[in-house]
A and B are shown apart, each in its own frame.
Chain A
Amino acid sequence: MSSTTSAAPRTFFGKDAIAFIVLAALILVVFPVALDIFRLNLVGKYLTYAFVAVGLVLCWGFGGILSLGQGIFFGLGGYCMAMFLKLEASSPENTAIQSTPGIPDFMDWNQVTELPWWWVPFNSFPLALIAILLVPTAFAYVIGAAMFKRRVGGVYFAIITQAVAAILTILIVGQQGYTGGINGMTDLRTLLGWDIRTDSAKLILYFVNAVLLLGVILIALFVKSSKFGRLLIAMRDKEDRVRFSGYDVANFKIFVFCLAAAFSAIGGAMFALQVGFMSPSFVGIVPSIEMVIFCAVGGRLSIFGAVYGALLVNYAKTTFSESFPELWLFAMGGLFIAVVMAFPNGLAGIWKSHVEPLLPRLMKRLRPPAIVSAPTKAPAE
C-alpha cells in the first residue's frame, strides 16, 4: 500500500490493522495459553455476545438505529442451532423411555406425538446452517422494511424492537410443546456424532468461534471503510440531507439492520454449541438491553471497543457474582453508571482520549532509535 492513497484505506489498514492483530493475538493466543478449559469456555461464551455488539456498532454507532431487540436474532440463531442439536440428541435409541421415541423430550412431556412439520428441515445440518443465517435475517428484513419504509425511527423504533422481543419470548414460553417453553432446549450433546461436551470439543469450538468473530470484525471494518459506511454516518447525522441527495435511506437502514441481525444470529448459534443449551432468557428484553450495554461500555463507535466491552462486562459479571453472590448486581449497576457518566464513549473513548496521546511520547522515551526506524517501516507496510 503506498502512502499516497486517500483517508479511507488508511483507516482500514492503518490503526485498525494493528488493533485487529492485537485482538486476534489476544483471543487466538493469549487466552488459550493463559486460561484453563473451563475459563476458556466462558470466554468463548462472552465472545458470542461480541458478535451482537459488533453488529450494534454498525447499526447503532454508525447508523444511529438503536435496536433494543438484538436478543431476537441472537435467540433465533441459537434456537435454529439448538433445534438441529436437539433432534440429533433425540434419536429413537436415546429416547426409548418416552411414549413417543424419536422426538425431543419436551415434546413428549407435552403430549406432542409427532414431530411438527417446521421441525423437519432441522434434521439436515446444511439446512439448519442456512436457517441460522436466513431466518433471523429475513425476520430483520420484515421488521426493517415495515418500519424504515414508513420512516419510523429513533425512540419509536427502539420501542417496537423491544415489543417484538417481548412477543417472541411469550410465544416461545407459551408454545412449550414445540419450543421447550421456559426450560428451553437442554441437554444438547453431539454435532454430527461429535460430542460437543468434551474438553477437546470445547477447545475446537472456541477457535471456530474466535475465527468467525474475527471474520465478522473484518466485514464490519470493510463496511466502515466503504462508501456505504460513510453514508451510514451521514444518515445518522443528517438523514434528510442524505435523502435529498437522492439516496434511498430506508434501504440502507434495512441493510445494516439485517447485517447486524445476521451477526447476532451467528453469535447465537455459537452460543448454543458452546454452552449446550438455548432458552428464552436470551431472547427477551433484558438480554437485549444487556447487549446494548456491552456495546455502550466498549464504546458504540468502535468495533474493537464493542468486543472488549462484551468481554469486560461478562467477565465482571462472572467474577462479581462468584465473589459476592448476594451483592454482585449492585456492583454491575455501579460499573454501568460509572462508565456512562464518566466516559460516554466507553472504553474506546478512554483509549482515544487518555491512552493514545501518550503512546507516541512513551515510544519516544522508551526507544529513541524508533524515530530512525519509523520511515523504513511505513513502506514495508
Chain B
Amino acid sequence: MTDAPANGPYTLNRRKLLAAMATIPALGMLGGSRAFAQDTSTAAVNTTGLAVTDTDVTVGILHSVTGTMAISETGSVQAEILAIEQINAAGGVLGRQIKYIQEDGASDWPTFAEKAKKLLVQDKVASVMGCWTSASRKAVLPVFEQYNGMLYYPTFYEGLEESPNVIYTGQEATQQILAGIDWVVDTKGAKSFYLLGSDYIWPRTSNKIARKHIEMKGLKVVGEEYYPLEHTQFNSVINKIKLTKPDVIYAIVVGGSNVAFYKQLKAAGIDLTKEAPLLLTISVTEDEILGIGGENMVGAYAAMKYFQSIENDNNKAFVDAFKARWGDGIVIGDVTQAAYLGPWLWKAAVEKAGSFDVDKVREASPGIELATAPEGYVKVHDNHHLWSKLRIGHARLDGQYDVVYETADLMEPDPFPEGYQ
C-alpha cells in the first residue's frame, strides 16, 4: 500500500523521460554542432531510467538507525543529510535538488540486502550513501553489482576489495595501519606489540597486516587475541598483557565491547597516560568515547584520518554546520566525516561526467578532487579508494583527541597489499 505514492512520481518520470527521449534526434538536427556536454535536459543526463526529473534527483541513504549498530551509524546518516542539504542550498547537482529516501538496515545484514535492492530496483535511486560494517557491505555488494548501483561506503575497513560499484570514502587497512605503526616505533621506541581485536574480518585482516609490518621491522608480536562481538569480559587478556609486558597494546575492539575493555583496563591498574604499555587503537573514534567515557580513555592514541579537533578552515566550517544542524552536544568521528564526503564526491563526479548515469559517474570518479573536505584535500584513486593522510590523536579527558602527528603526504590506497597477504 505504502508503495503506491512512492511509485507514482517515478512512473510519471518514465513517461516524461520517454517523451523527452523522443525529441533527442530532433534536437540534434536543430542544434547542429552545439556541444552536447552542456545539455542538462533530463533525457541527456539520465539515459538509464534513474529517478531524475527536471527539478530533482533521488538518492538513497541506507544505514542502521535501529539495533546495535545504530549508535555508530546515526552520525553517518546525519553527515549525509547535512551534505545533501548543503549541496541543495548551493544549487543542487546539474541544477537539480537532491531528494533522499532513507531506509533502515536494522543492524541486520539480510535486511541491508533487501533494502539495497528496494532502493535500486524500485526507487531507481541515482546513488546510495550507506553501510557501516563489513558484513553489511558484503551483503549488499552483489545487489549493487547486479543492478549496477553506486554505493558510497564511509567506514575504514579491511581492504581486499575493489568493486566498480563502490566508492570507499574511508581508509583501507594499509592506510590506517602502516604509518601508525611507523610512528609508534619511530617516536616512542616501541619494540613489542600485543594485538587484540573483535572476532571478525576487519580486526583479523588489520592485525595480519600489522603483524607482517611489525615483523618486517624485526620487532616482536608477543600476543594476538580475538573476542566475539559484544564480548564484555577482558580480564584474562588484561592479565596476559600484564605478564607479557608489551610496549604497545594494539587494540581493534569494536562497538559496545570497547566500554568493557577500557573500563577493565583502568580497573586493572593500567594507566594509559603513563604509556607503559602505550595503547594504540584504530577503532575508537570520538563517537565511541561517548560510551567509553573520556576518563577511561585518556592517554590512549588513535590512528585515523580525521579527528574533530583538526585545525583547518574546512573543518571549522564543517563542525560548526554540523552542530548548528544536529545540536551542540554532538561529536564527530572519523566515519562521520567520511560519510560527509560521499554526497560531495558523487556531486563532483556527476558534474564532471555531465550525467547521472552510473556508468558515466564511475568513469568520471577516478581523479575527482575535493579541496573542501574537512580532513583536508582528498582525491579518488583509480581503485575507487581515497588518497588520504593518517593522523595520530592523543585522547583527552573530555573525549576529544589532540592531533599529535600527521603524515606529510597523502597516502596511496592499496586494497590488495603485496607482501601483506
23 contacts between A and B (CB under 8 A): A38-B121, A97-B416, A99-B421, A109-B160, A109-B201, A173-B200, A173-B228, A182-B201, A183-B134, A183-B135, A184-B139, A186-B141, A187-B138, A187-B141, A275-B113, A276-B142, A277-B110, A277-B139, A279-B109, A321-B111, A321-B115, A323-B2, A326-B65
Q: Report B177-222 residues with CB < 8 Å from chain A CB.
A: 199-201, 204-205, 208
Chain A residues with Cβ below 8 Å from B1 are 319
Partner of A275 from B104, B108, B110, B201 at Cβ < 8 Å: B110
* A236 in contact (CB, < 8 A): no
- Closest beta carbon of chain B to A269's beta carbon, Å: 15
Chain B residues with Cβ below 8 Å from A45 are 114
Q: Is the interface of B mostly helix, strand, loop or mixed?
A: helix
Complex: how many Å from CA A186 to CA B139? 6
**Contact (Cβ within 8 A) A38 B117:** yes
Q: Report A249-280 residues with CB < 8 Å from chain B CB.
A: 275-277, 279
Chain B residues with Cβ below 8 Å from A110 are 201, 204
- A111-B208, A184-B135 known; A328+B66 contact, CB < 8 A: yes
* B87 in contact (CB, < 8 A): no
Most chain-B Cβ atoms within 10 A of its Cβ — which of A183, A275, A325? Answer: A325
* B229 in contact (CB, < 8 A): yes
- Closest beta carbon of chain B to A306's beta carbon, Å: 21
Chain A residues with Cβ below 8 Å from B421 are 99
* A174 in contact (CB, < 8 A): yes
Complex: how many Å from CA A326 to CA B67? 10
* B245 in contact (CB, < 8 A): no
* B275 in contact (CB, < 8 A): no
Complex: how many Å from CA A267 to CA B103? 27
**Contact (Cβ within 8 A) A279 B66:** no
Q: Report A323-354 residues with CB < 8 Å from chain B CB.
A: 323, 325-326, 328-329
**Contact (Cβ within 8 A) A106 B201:** yes
Most chain-B Cβ atoms within 10 A of its Cβ — which of A106, A187, A321, A323? Answer: A321
Chain B residues with Cβ below 8 Å from A322 are 2-3, 103, 115, 118
**Using a CB–CB distance below 8 Å, which chain A residues touch chain B?**
38-39, 42, 45, 97, 99, 106, 109-111, 170, 173-174, 176, 181-184, 186-189, 197, 275-277, 279, 281-282, 318-319, 321-323, 325-326, 328-329
**Contact (Cβ within 8 A) A176 B199:** yes
* B122 in contact (CB, < 8 A): yes
Q: Is the interface of A mostly helix, strand, loop or mixed?
A: helix
Chain B residues with Cβ below 8 Å from A39 are 3
**Contact (Cβ within 8 A) B201 A181:** yes
Q: Report B1-48 residues with CB < 8 Å from chain A CB.
A: 1-3
* B102 in contact (CB, < 8 A): yes
From A177, which residue of chain B is reached at the shortest CB distance? B204
Chain B residues with Cβ below 8 Å from A197 are 142, 146
**Contact (Cβ within 8 A) B142 A279:** no
Most chain-B Cβ atoms within 10 A of its Cβ — which of A176, A319, A322? Answer: A322
> Beyond the given A174-B199, A176-B199, A277-B110, could you list 19 further A-B residue pairs with CB under 8 A, ordered by the A residue number?
A39-B3, A109-B160, A109-B201, A183-B135, A183-B200, A186-B142, A187-B141, A188-B142, A197-B142, A275-B113, A275-B114, A281-B108, A319-B1, A321-B111, A322-B115, A322-B118, A325-B103, A326-B65, A329-B106
Partner of B110 from A38, A174, A281, A319 at Cβ < 8 Å: A281
Chain B residues with Cβ below 8 Å from A182 are 135, 200-201, 229
Most chain-B Cβ atoms within 10 A of its Cβ — which of A111, A319, A323, A326? Answer: A326
Chain B residues with Cβ below 8 Å from A279 are 109-110, 135, 139
Chain A residues with Cβ below 8 Å from B146 are 197
Q: Report B112-150 residues with CB < 8 Å from chain A CB.
A: 113-115, 117-118, 121-122, 134-135, 138-139, 141-142, 146
**Contact (Cβ within 8 A) A326 B104:** yes
**Contact (Cβ within 8 A) B199 A186:** no
- Closest beta carbon of chain B to A201's beta carbon, Å: 12
Chain A residues with Cβ below 8 Å from B142 are 186-189, 197, 276-277
- Closest beta carbon of chain B to A285's beta carbon, Å: 12
Complex: how many Å from CA A173 to CA B146? 27
Complex: how many Å from CA A75 to CA B285? 35
Chain A residues with Cβ below 8 Å from B158 are 109
Chain A residues with Cβ below 8 Å from B208 are 111
Complex: how many Å from CA A318 to CA B200? 28
Chain A residues with Cβ below 8 Å from B109 are 183-184, 277, 279, 281
- Closest beta carbon of chain A to B200's beta carbon, Å: 5
Chain B residues with Cβ below 8 Å from A326 are 65-66, 104
- Closest beta carbon of chain A to B354's beta carbon, Å: 30
Complex: how many Å from CA A173 to CA B204? 13
Complex: how many Å from CA A109 to CA B200? 11
Q: Mark B44-77, 1 if CB is under 8 A from A, else 0.
A: 0000000000000000000001100000000000
Chain B residues with Cβ below 8 Å from A328 are 66, 104
The 7 closest A-B pairs by CB, nearest first: A325-B104, A183-B135, A186-B138, A187-B142, A182-B200, A183-B138, A38-B121
Chain B residues with Cβ below 8 Å from A170 are 228
Most chain-B Cβ atoms within 10 A of its Cβ — which of A176, A183, A277, A323? Answer: A183
Complex: how many Å from CA A241 to CA B297? 64
Complex: how many Å from CA A191 to CA B110? 20
- Closest beta carbon of chain B to A11's beta carbon, Å: 35
Complex: how many Å from CA A189 to CA B134? 20
Q: Mark B138-175, 1 if CB is under 8 A from A, else 0.
A: 11011000100000000000101000000000000000
Chain B residues with Cβ below 8 Å from A183 are 109, 134-135, 138-139, 200-201
Complex: how many Å from CA A183 to CA B114? 15
- Closest beta carbon of chain B to A225's beta carbon, Å: 36
Complex: how many Å from CA A326 to CA B200? 27
**Contact (Cβ within 8 A) A329 B229:** no
Complex: how many Å from CA A368 to CA B122? 47
Complex: how many Å from CA A298 to CA B146? 35
- Closest beta carbon of chain B to A64's beta carbon, Å: 31
**Contact (Cβ within 8 A) A276 B113:** yes
**Contact (Cβ within 8 A) A329 B66:** yes
Complex: how many Å from CA A99 to CA B420? 11
Chain A residues with Cβ below 8 Å from B134 are 183
Complex: how many Å from CA A326 to CA B139? 21
Complex: how many Å from CA A329 to CA B104? 11
Complex: how many Å from CA A323 to CA B4? 12
Most chain-A Cβ atoms within 10 A of its Cβ — which of B65, B113, B135, B158? Answer: B135
From A173, which residue of chain B is reached at the shortest CB distance? B228
- Closest beta carbon of chain A to B338's beta carbon, Å: 21
